[in-house]
Amino acid sequence: MTNAPAKISIGDKTVEAPVRSGTIGPDVVDIRKLYGQTGAFTFDPGFMSTAACESGLTYIDGDEGILLHRGYPIGQLAEQSSFLEVCYLLLNGELPSKGELDTFTRTITRHTMVHEQLSTFYRGFRRDAHPMAIMCGVVGALSAFYHDSTDIADPEQRRIASHRLIAKMPTIAAMAYKYSVGQPFVYPDNKLSYTGNFLKMTFGVPAEEYVVHPAIEAAMDRIFILHADHEQNASTSTVRLAGSSGANPFACIAAGIACLWGPAHGGANEAALNMLREIGTPDRIPHYIARAKDKNDPFRLMGFGHRVYKNYDPRATVMQQTLREVFDALKLKDPVFDVALQLEEMALNDPYFIEKKLFPNVDFYSGVILSAIGFPTEMFTVLFALARTVGWVAQWNEMISDPEQKIGRPRQLYTGPVQRDYVAIDKR
């Protein structure tokens, strides 16, 4: 069934705009010809009502708290799949057969080493540099090392660049950590799983054998799955926008990392844990809830609220479960966990949070788990970047392959001065 077009009237002009339907989700009004027909732009600075592209990767129903990758619910993937299988799914559209997964795993595993000269890059950074600053620089620099995978018009080069990025990101992230603590870099060990390898490169030292803890490996892999993609979020949109000019894939992913760093996006898990530690004990929670509700106080409950989810973030559900599993496996007790649970309960019963539909998001619990595993807070966003790389790469590939792809070029509502004449400096 074709949709009736939308009628848009501006002044004395009325134009018809096609209304298109996806497989699920809201329809869109295709306003691409609006400016040509009426001379008016639409105005939507935060993309509150604007679909910027067509995509078949990830679907979110924020009201129902649903997240699907290529149609598969995130809860099922987190429970039954592995991160590399989810990578294959996002890149190729279907779950792999056993043979396809083995080949994919072998390919990724064979790309885990980085060019030896890349390690000299790290020495240019101060030891106390934030690892996300290092990630922006080093990932951007990959384009200077892998010239044979920067021609974006060649699908084979795009495929190799995608595999390189997914494979090398754990190595680059672990090296950023090692550099900050003054320990030697640990080379990848291809006997280990993707996630086990990352843990060894991060926490292993040459002086001792490192044994991967199965419960931590499983939890970490699940955390990677939970962060793999999230449709057109800020960093993914950044990657698409950077890529729309024809920039090389490594530069585009570096742009995504830069965007992810912000506290309203990937930096929120670091901010959430810092907040929980600052609260410290359950008796102080009401004070912080009151601050979050106070219009004159810039404080927000970090790890709460989401542009799209107006219900419980399905990733937060899995994260809370994973947190319990890690704490049980490591026999841990941390007052921060109790503070988190009680803060969640109190906020979910508070009229302010109910009315504004503010629920815990993926970042609320992830900081507590990552800290329990042994990561310092500065590494949290790095882990997010590592996992999100597959989403960025898959979305970038989808965009480049789209025959309707154009350079992203938003317009504006100009509010500056109208034309005026230059005034010589002695006359001002």
Q: Which residues are catalytic?
A: 306, 363
Of the candidate spans 60-68, 161-169, 359-367, 415-423, the one that interacts with ligand CMC by CB under 6 A turns out to be 359-367
The correct pick among 112, 363, 368, 398 for binding ligand CMC (CB under 6 A) is 363
**CB nearer to ligand CMC: pick between 200 and 240:** 240
Among 276, 362, 393, 394, interactor with ligand CMC by CB under 6 A:
362
Helices 194-203, 155-181: inter-axial angle, 10-degree rounding: 30
Angle at 126 between CA 123 and CA 132, to 5 degrees: 95
361 binds ligand CMC (CB under 6 A): yes
List 301, 316, 318, 372, residue binding ligand CMC (CB under 6 A): 301
Q: Which of 77, 192, 253, 302 binds ligand CMC (CB under 6 A)?
A: 302
Q: Tell me how far apart the alpha carbons of residues 411 and 416 are, in angstroms, rounded to a whole number.
A: 14
With CB under 6 A as the contact rule, the residue among 204, 303, 314, 367 that binds ligand CMC is 303
Q: Report the residue count for the chain.
A: 428
Partners of 304 in the β-ladder: 360
192 or 260: whose CB is closer to ligand CMC?
260
Instruction: Give the separation between CA 3 and CA 17, rounded to whole angstroms.
Output: 11
Which CB atom, from 29 or from 358, has the smaller least distance to ligand CMC?
Answer: 358
DSSP 304: B
Shortest Cβ distance from residue 66 to ligand CMC (Å)?
15
Cα separation, 292 vs 284, in Å, equals 13
Q: Kindly report the backbone phi and psi dihedral angles of residue 360, in degrees, each rounded to the nearest multiple of 5, phi listed first.
A: -60, 140
Q: How far is the CB of 260 from ligand CMC (least distance, A)?
A: 7
CB 132 within 8 Å of CB 382: yes
Question: What is the smallest separation between the CB atom of 372 and ligand CMC, expressed in angstroms?
Answer: 20
Three-state DSSP state, 360 = strand
* Binding positions for ligand CMC, 30-69, rule CB under 6 A: none
First-to-last alpha carbon distance for the chain, in angstroms, is 65
Least distance between ligand CMC and beta carbon 313 (Å) = 7
Q: Beta strand 66-69 with 72-73: parallel, antiparallel or unpaired? A: antiparallel
Sheet holding 58-61, edge to edge: 58-61, 66-69, 72-73
Size of the site for ligand CMC (CB under 6 A): 20
Q: Is 394 in the site for ligand CMC (CB under 6 A)?
A: no
Nearest approach in angstroms of CB 59 to ligand CMC is 15
CB of 299 to ligand CMC, least distance (A): 8
Nearest residue to the partner ligand CMC, using Cβ = 305
In whole angstroms, what is the distance from residue 326 CA to residue 331 CA? 8
- Residue 360 binds ligand CMC (CB under 6 A): no
Q: What would the x/- binding string for ligand CMC be over residues 258 to 297, using CB under 6 A?
A: ------xxx-x-----------------------x-----
Output the CA angle 194-153-401, nearest 5 degrees. Answer: 75
Q: Which residues contact 127 (CB under 8 A, 6 or more apart)?
A: 179, 180, 182
Distance CA 44, CA 57 (A): 24
224's enclosing H/E stretch is helix 214-226
Out of 82, 193, 197, 233, the only residue in the binding site for ligand CMC (CB under 6 A) is 233
Closer of 233 and 248 to ligand CMC (Cβ):
233
Among 220, 326, 358, 400, interactor with ligand CMC by CB under 6 A: 358
Q: Contact with ligand CMC (CB under 6 A): which of 115, 213, 277, 300?
A: 300
Q: Name which position in 13, 147, 284, 356 contacts ligand CMC (CB under 6 A).
A: 356
CA distance 301 to 189: 40
CB of 133 to ligand CMC, least distance (A): 19
77 to 68, 224, 317, 409: CA distances (angstroms): 9, 11, 13, 36
Q: Which residues bind ligand CMC (CB under 6 A)?
A: 230, 233, 264-266, 268, 292, 300-307, 356, 358, 361-363
